[in-house]
Structure 1
Amino acid sequence: MVRLCILFLLLFSSPALAGPRFDDNDPVVFNAPAPHQFPIHGIDAARFQDSINWRKAHKAGVSFAFVKATEGGDLLDPMFASHWRGARRANVPVGAYHFYYFCTPARVQARWFIKNVPKSKGALPPVLDMEWNPFSPSCKLRPPAGQVRRNMSIFMAMLEKHYGQRPIIYTTPVFFKENDLGRLKGEEFWLRSTAKTPAEVYARQDWHFWQYTSTGVIDGIDGAVDINLFNGSRKDWQNWLKSRAR
């Protein structure tokens, strides 16, 4: 049966690119530079990905992974330990991310993350996931932009002190704009943009990672998965790992 995403497959199967062998349930044709023009791709995973064969995924082209660890001040993702161990055993560079909750103090959330995420040799930097969550049944709070940025700084400083790595900031177009995150100079960003390139959505903003689809299909992973890429060449990736994976 011919798949809807044949274009995506053709792009990623180019021998010249020697890129990952991924599929997509809902492919998008991006303007240049499009995802297939970048050689290093990876995933992020949480409890929704309850079955990952990490060795198969790595063989298919998964070069890194960020897995959900914590949310707020008391939630631990039930798949965190499994994803963390599985990725490391398959030699997939892996880092953990925290989903920020606006009704719990930043210090409490940082302590919760530190309690649950080990200091492991070779781990990628931790990630602070900043986005509005309109579906939360218990917290509808949306603090002013200045307070949001201050709380982010508190959280990130605590993690940097503990892990020896400055966290990466993951965010979405709306959250980035409404909280003026472009004012956070010198930070590393992981940007979500599933219809346009980061340059089209986050004007003049530097970035290291781009989440370009949430409907990816990868061998070894049951169901759809988010796919991301690293902004650079293979050599850039190796240099980044040397400087940022501890």
Structure 2
Amino acid sequence: MARKTKRPLWFKALLVLLIAAPVGVAVWLYQDLRHWRPEESAFPEQGVDLSRGTAGVNFEVLKGSGADFVYLSASAGDGERSAEFTRALVAARKAGLEVGAVHRFDPCVPADGQSANFVTIVPRDPALLPPAIELSDPGADCIDPVDSGQVRSELTILANQIEAHAGKPAILKVSREFEAAHGVAARIERNLWLVRTRFEPDYGGRPWLLWTANENYVGPGSEEPIEWMVVRP
């Protein structure tokens, strides 16, 4: 029977190092990314997208940590409204933050009901930032199938109706999946809000106005990860 060769201690130590080092680097990168946001020298105007919700958010701390504005979820589709919107609007303004409202577009339902839902909860207030329309659901699960032409038509109607209420052009917050499905950026002339953590997004095909730069930012002012965003200088 062949005898096993005993490995020297330095060889065992090297194996441990080779295994542990990549794991340690990955952990460090993960932790670093959670706290990363673009430098203020490059992007002086920075803010937070709170469309996930405002539970556990301290607006005064957010303001003190460098946020200039927040976008709050207001409505979605033709029947969903945020129970937190009015309270959060008052609290954010009291902290000195500018505030904008987000409507999540539902490609499965007509624009008229969606705009009526939005204007029911969002006041006609010139101090509000331009309204944003979130485009994240491509509509693959609609009961009655919709094509890109229908989606873009209803979206244009919705944008026009929301703008008539707000008195300002709407911003389109377009996900990569929605853009790939319907190509709205090149066909609907509105400012773009794109999303990509750490690296500037380019899927809109033209310059963006707003960029969600960290989708899971962890910092002072919120008990849960939030979406940190910047304005193009």
- Coarse TM-score class (shorter-chain normalised): 0.7 to 0.9
1:5/1:142 Cα in 2 relative to 1: closer, same or farther (>3 Å)? farther
Identity %: 23
Cα RMSD between the aligned structures? Answer: 2.5
Give the conservation status (yes or no) of the 8 Å contact 2:130–2:168.
yes
Partners of 1:77 and 1:135 in 2: CA distance? 24
1:198/1:6 Cα in 2 relative to 1: closer, same or farther (>3 Å)? closer
TM-score (norm 1): 0.75
1:145/1:134 Cα in 2 relative to 1: closer, same or farther (>3 Å)? closer
The correspondence for 2:34, drawn from 25, 28, 51, is 25
The correspondence for 2:175, drawn from 168, 172, 178, is 172
Partners of 1:46 and 1:83 in 2: CA distance? 11
The Cα shift of 1:225 comes to 0.3
The Cα shift of 1:5 comes to 6.2
Q: Look up the SS of the partner of 1:181 in the other structure.
A: coil
Letter in 1 for 2:161: M
Gaps of 5+ in 1: 9-23, 28-33, 233-246
TM-score (norm 2): 0.79
Partners of 1:175 and 1:110 in 2: CA distance? 20
Give the conservation status (yes or no) of the 8 Å contact 2:193–2:211.
yes
2:223 match: 222
Give the conservation status (yes or no) of the 8 Å contact 1:67–1:96.
yes
Gaps of 5+ in 2: 1-26
Establish whether residue 116 from structure 1 lines up as the match of residue 121 from structure 2.
yes
Q: Look up the SS of the partner of 1:35 in the other structure.
A: coil
- State the Cα deviation string for residues 187-231 of structure 1 (Å, max 9, x = none): 1010111253223x334x121000122210231211100111100
Question: For residues 129-144 of structure 1, what are the structure 2 equivalents within 5 Å?
Answer: 129-132=134-137, 139=142, 143-144=146-147
- State the Cα deviation string for residues 61-99 of structure 1 (Å, max 9, x = none): 011111000011111112212221111111211110001
Partners of 2:145 and 2:197 in 1: CA distance? 24
Give the conservation status (yes or no) of the 8 Å contact 1:41–1:230.
yes
Partners of 1:217 and 1:142 in 2: CA distance? 39
Partners of 1:106 and 1:149 in 2: CA distance? 11
